[in-house]
Amino acid sequence: MPDEATNETLFERAAELLVVYSFSVAGALLTIVLGFAVAGLAKRWTSRALSRLNHDDRTLNNFLSNLAKYAVLTVFAVAVLAQFGVQTASILAALGAAGLAIGLALQGTLKNIAAGVMLLILRPLRVGEYIDADGVDGTVEEIGLFATRMKTLDGLYRMVPNSELWNVPITNYSRYDVRRNDLVIGIGYDDDISLAEKTLKALAGKDDRVLEDPEPATFVSELGDSAVSVTLRYWTKTADWFATASHLRGEAKRTFDKKGISIPYPQQDLHLVSQPAE
């Protein structure tokens, strides 16, 4: 009889445990399915919200949408462990310690990721723009989470870690539609300054790429050792800046030659002092 009573007690406890864990397993499965569904919705909503922004970027869109997805999955994973009575506090502490160790080991990589996210959010540079970041110059072709791919003026491939772009001043030559240029030409001290200024202003007026507003201006910018520097200051569209500067420089030389305005070489005056022989 005691054996039969013991068997019945064990059977009842096993049945109770089976019922309890069946509900736990069912709840865990339901939580997992719900977690994946909510994570997918979070990813799609985040992607749609970023797509409505004016400066949407595919790399930033994918990164933030996946970040939202895995954040939701992490929350539901903790909830599943709690279904089975697991002490999630200790697990979170262990994950935090592991994350700290991994972060210290990969601090250079994480620094590039953080810099890439900031570059994508603040947008000091965009694909297709020409920039100069403390001597690192080129046309931006791709902004990744780890590095930025660029192409130099002479057609070379350049891969720059994002942390090097984020920690230095960036000069963006393509961001604004118009750009100023100062064309400086040195003339001789015996030449007519007024004639040189009128000639440069006339050349600017003949070029359709030179903007009328602001109006081009000429002035004497420096009295050098060998020449008087006359400056033509004008504005043009950014896309026409290089071609306009090259054209005006050549036209100024040819026109100055026709009008007899010299562009002197650097020169020095040498004074010889003779002494009588003893």
What CATH number corresponds to the domain at position 28?
Answer: 1.10.287.1260
DSSP element (H, E) containing 223 = strand 217-223
* Residues listed for the chain: 278
CA–CA dist 240, 246 (Å, integer) = 10
Q: Of 53, 75, 105, which residue sits at a domain end?
A: 105
In CATH, what number is assigned to the domain containing residue 217?
A: 3.30.70.100
Number of domains in the chain: 3
226 domain residue, yes or no: yes
Question: Is-above-0.85 flag for pTM?
Answer: no
Does 93 share its domain with 137? no
| Residue 158 scores a pLDDT above 90 | yes
269 domain residue, yes or no: no
CA–CA dist 169, 181 (Å, integer) = 21
Q: Of 172, 190, 209, which residue sits at a domain end?
A: 172
| Residue 40 scores a pLDDT above 50 | yes
Does 46 share its domain with 17? yes
248 domain residue, yes or no: yes
Higher pLDDT among residues 86 and 162, named by residue: 162
In CATH, what number is assigned to the domain containing residue 132?
A: 2.30.30.60
| Residue 29 scores a pLDDT above 50 | yes
CA–CA dist 189, 269 (Å, integer) = 14
- Which alpha helices (DSSP H) does 52-183 contain, by range? 58-83, 88-105, 107-122, 162-166
State pLDDT tens for residues 127-152.
899 999 988 999 999 888 789 999 99
State pLDDT tens for residues 183-216.
999 999 999 999 999 999 999 999 999 999 999 9
pLDDT at 12: 60
CA–CA dist 126, 109 (Å, integer) = 22
61 domain residue, yes or no: yes
272 domain residue, yes or no: no
Q: Which domain holds residue 144?
A: 122-172
Does 95 share its domain with 132? no
pLDDT at 55: 53
| Residue 269 scores a pLDDT above 70 | no
Average pLDDT (231-254) is 95
CA–CA dist 209, 228 (Å, integer) = 27
Band of the pLDDT at 1, cuts 50, 70, 90? very low
State pLDDT tens for residues 49-85.
767 665 555 666 666 777 788 788 877 777 777 766 6
Band of the pLDDT at 119, cuts 50, 70, 90? confident
CA–CA dist 164, 162 (Å, integer) = 5
Does 248 share its domain with 166? no
Q: Of 172, 190, 213, which residue sits at a domain end?
A: 172
Band of the pLDDT at 265, cuts 50, 70, 90? confident
Does 38 share its domain with 21? yes
Does 60 share its domain with 97? yes
Does 164 share its domain with 182? no
pLDDT at 102: 60
